[in-house]
Amino acid sequence: MRRLLIMPALLALLSTVSFAQTTNSTRPANERPVINERTKQDVREGVNKVEQNAKEAAGDVKEGVSNAAQEVKEETKEAVRDVKQGASNAAQDIKEGTRNTVQDVKQATSTATEEVKEEVKEATQDVKEGTRNTVQDVKDATRNTVQDVKEGVSNATEEVKETAQEVSQDVKQEVRELRRNELSWFQPGSFFAGASLGFGLGRGSGTYLNFHPRIGYFFLPGVMAGLRYGFENRLSTSYRANQVGGFIRYYPLKGRISAFGGVGYNVGREYASNISDSDRARFNSINLELGAMVRLLPNLGGEISIENNYYDRVNALAGRNLGGRIRFGFNYYFGRANP
């Protein structure tokens, strides 16, 4: 604004100065300029005109600026009103659009919900129907399977009964045959007397002999208890021993060819060159035996057995034959003779 006011004043001052220079230039060069009252008066009038023009220009400028500012205010107000109106209209349009969209969404959701309900209802009905049919099929299949199983079990039971009867008959027949072939030796009340000769089984220990006489009594079918005495000798050394003990035998097979197993307990005394007369050298032993017997005569049987003995003490001169041995013997049975 200040620049707009100064520019006219400067233009007027320049015009005055230019006029004065023009006036002076018309004078001869040898004449000095003379500022007289006329000139001063002209300058004053020029300055006054310049001031007047500057004031008028400043007034015009102020008025123009005021008018422009007013117009700008009006236009700004109108623009603001237009913007507000446009924003209000846009907001209204957005509200209307949103309301319509929400309504459409609600309508579409409601329609979709109804369709889904119908489809679910139909699917549920189909599932119920299918389940009902499946359950009925399962029931029918189960009923048929149970019936088949019952019939199969019944048939199998009958077959098992028949097989069991046949097996029972066969077993009874076998038992009768076995009893028919059983010897009277093995019945309760029968007793026998016998003896056996044994040989040691250990290698590199020389010849080892033992002789055992025995007597026994059957108190149950095939079960016998008795007493025995033993003489043992290792021929390559000075070792010998005597023992006495009891034993029990069981004969699971009681025919002309029989088998037996037994166990016994013995106490004895050892004699050897490394044992002093004052040392009694007593020992305890347990023997286990397995063997077989064959009827030779109506009251006589021959047997072979393998026996193993376990001692609580062992003399060094006895060698390795003291434990295991093979035995051969004969038994004479008192009582009713077998044909």
Residue closest to 262 by CA, chosen among 277, 243, 248, 278: 248
Query: Which has the closest alpha carbon to 257: 219, 213, 291, 288?
Result: 291
pLDDT of residue 228 exceeding 90, the answer is yes
Q: Which of 7-21, 154-168, 281-295 has the least mean pLDDT?
A: 7-21
CB atoms within 10 A of CB 20: 16
| SS3 category, 69 | helix
Tokens coding 158: 């009958």
The reported pLDDT for the residue numbered 233 is 87
Residue range 82-88: mean pLDDT, rounded: 80
Stretch 244-272: mean pLDDT: 94
Query: How does residue 5 score in pLDDT terms, banded at 50, 70 and 90?
Result: very low
Any idea which of 172-186, 230-244, 290-304 has the lowest mean pLDDT?
Answer: 172-186
For position 127, what pLDDT does the model report? 75
Instruction: Measure Cα distances from 255 to 174, 175, 180, 305 in Å.
Output: 13, 12, 9, 17
201: CB partners within 8 A, 6+ apart: 321, 324, 325, 326
Residue 29 DSSP one-character state: T
Q: Where are the alpha helices (DSSP H) in the chain?
A: 2-25, 37-181
pLDDT at 34 over 70: no
- Summarize pLDDT for 267-302 with one digit per residue, the tens: 999 888 888 877 878 999 999 999 999 999 989 999
φ, ψ of residue 29 to 5 degrees: the values are: -70, -30
Whole-angstrom Cα distance, residue 59 to residue 72? 19
pLDDT over 90 percentage in the chain? 26
pLDDT in tens, 186-226: 999 999 999 999 987 666 556 778 899 999 999 999 999 99
Residues contacting residue 209 through CB under 8 Å, at least 6 positions apart: 197, 198, 199, 200, 232, 233, 235
Compute the residue count for the chain: 339
Query: Looking at per-residue confidence, does 149 or 20 come out higher?
Result: 149
Q: Report residue 88 CA to chain centroid gap.
A: 69
Instruction: Give the number of other CB atoms < 10 A from CB of residue 50.
Output: 19
DSSP lists the bridge partners of residue 199 as: 209, 326
